């Protein structure tokens, strides 16, 4: 009804994001409502992609739609996660990073896979600068999945630098190298949030359900296959790193936690999967929906 338009965060947005927004506004003619619709479409695509990945690797023991359900339900808790923003667009690439991280354990082409992981992360950082911190996730995934080889760790760095190399080359050849001065770089910013009771209630509900799912995961962890356990280790590392990423720009933004929400969705799904009484699941679902409608209307 009242589109919020694209979110702009000068210190956090990557070099490509402002040009993407400008193209969508001037060439594609998107209005504020159009950006809201596009944000929902991207969220829906990300939900299906994440659901497909978790089912493919048997993360939840059986194929189901709990990940997509949880992704769409709990991401609606906060307006910042429903708006068109650089973390939202970067998540399309970071879901691919999660997928390829899961493949490291069984692949025979670990060097090419590692370079691809770095390359995709570098592209994501051109949309959302703090995503460059996921280099640490690539190294952790290598540590969990492969014997230590220094060449693979260096290839991850080379992969991240590669998109920047291509960008600087194009700018140099077209005589616009001065635009490289607009590249963002990591800093540290303290959070400045206008915390309301509604926002606090949503965060408490999200954290509570995350801990509930984590408790059930701990009970089943030792029964899982080795590869599945390694996937969960990678996702836990992803959660920890993703929670830190929004602090890298000197201007903290709540929307940056969208990246951490990708792996958090798997823990939320475990919670729904282990509910034995249908009425409890119904109460949790309806309570979440009621909170969403009230929060989006009032806050």
Calpha distance 240→236 (Å, rounded):
6
Does residue 272 surpass a pLDDT of 70?
Answer: yes
Query: 281-298: per-residue pLDDT in tens?
Result: 888 888 888 888 887 777
Please report whether residue 281 resides in a domain. Answer: yes
Between 21-25, 27-31, 226-230, 261-265, the lowest mean confidence (pLDDT) is in: 27-31
Examine residue 56 and state whether it is found in any structural domain, yes or no. yes
Q: Give the residue numbers spanning the domain of 148.
A: 16-184+193-298
The pLDDT score that the predictor gives to residue 254 is 81
15: which 2 tokens? 């070099």
Number of domains, the chain = 1
Is the CB of residue 202 less than 8 Å from the CB of residue 106? no
Beta-ladder partners of 13: 128
What does the block give as tokens for 295? 């929060």
User: Do residues 245 and 260 make contact, with C-beta atoms less than 8 angstroms apart?
Assistant: yes
**Does residue 201 fall inside a structural domain?**
yes
- Hey, is 13 helix, strand or coil? strand
pLDDT in tens, 141-161: 999 988 888 999 999 999 999
Region for 84 from its dihedrals, namely left if φ exceeds 0, alpha if ψ lies in -120 to 50, beta otherwise: beta
pLDDT digits over 221-230, tens only?
Answer: 888 888 899 9
pLDDT beyond 90 at 51 = yes
Q: Across all residues in the chain, what is the average pLDDT?
A: 89
What is the percentage of the chain residues whose pLDDT exceeds 90? Answer: 52
Asked whether residue 35 is assigned to any structural domain, the reply reads yes
pLDDT computed for residue 85 by the predictor: 93
Are 177 and 171 in contact by the 8 Å Cβ rule? The answer is yes
In a 13 Å sphere around the CA of 26, the CA atoms on its Cβ side amount to: 6
Q: Is residue 9 in some structural domain?
A: no
In a domain, 2, yes or no: no
Higher pLDDT, 186 or 67: 67
Q: What residues contact 160, with CB distance under 8 A and at least 6 apart?
A: 118, 119, 121, 122, 125, 132, 135
What pLDDT was estimated at residue 194? 64
In a domain, 1, yes or no: no
Burial label for 136, CB within 10 Å (0-12, 13-18, 19+), is middle
Over 80: is that where the pLDDT of 197 sits? no
* Position 134 in a domain: yes
Least confident interval from 4-13, 46-55, 153-162, 256-265 = 4-13
């Amino acid at each position: 009804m009242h589109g919020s338009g694209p979110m702009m965060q000068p210190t956090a947005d990557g070099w490509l994001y402002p040009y993407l927004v400008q193209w969508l506004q001037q060439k594609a003619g998107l209005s504020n409502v159009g950006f809201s619709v596009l944000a929902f479409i991207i969220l829906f695509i990300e939900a299906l992609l994440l659901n497909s990945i978790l089912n493919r690797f048997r993360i939840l023991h059986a194929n189901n739609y709990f990940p997509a359900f949880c992704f769409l339900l709990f991401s609606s808790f906060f307006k910042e996660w429903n708006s068109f923003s650089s973390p939202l667009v970067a998540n399309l690439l970071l879901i691919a990073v999660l997928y390829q991280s899961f493949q490291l354990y069984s692949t025979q082409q670990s060097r090419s896979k590692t370079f691809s992981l770095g390359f995709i992360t570098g592209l994501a950082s051109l949309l959302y600068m703090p995503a460059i911190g996921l280099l640490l996730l690539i190294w952790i995934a290598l540590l969990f999945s492969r014997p230590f080889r220094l060449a693979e760790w260096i290839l991850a760095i080379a992969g991240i630098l590669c998109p920047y190399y291509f960008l600087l080359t194009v700018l140099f050849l077209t005589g616009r190298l001065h635009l490289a001065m607009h590249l963002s770089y990591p800093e540290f910013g303290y959070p400045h949030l206008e915390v309301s009771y509604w926002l606090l209630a949503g965060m408490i509900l999200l954290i509570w359900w995350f801990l509930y799912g984590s408790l059930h995961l701990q009970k089943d962890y030792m029964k899982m296959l080795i590869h599945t356990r390694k996937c969960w280790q990678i996702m836990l590392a992803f959660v920890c790193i993703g929670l830190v990423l929004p602090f890298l720009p000197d201007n903290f933004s709540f929307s940056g936690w969208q990246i951490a929400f990708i792996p958090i969705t798997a823990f939320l799904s475990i919670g729904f999967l282990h509910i034995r009484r249908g009425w409890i699941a119904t109460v949790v679902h309806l309570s979440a929906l009621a909170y969403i409608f009230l929060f989006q209307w009032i806050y």
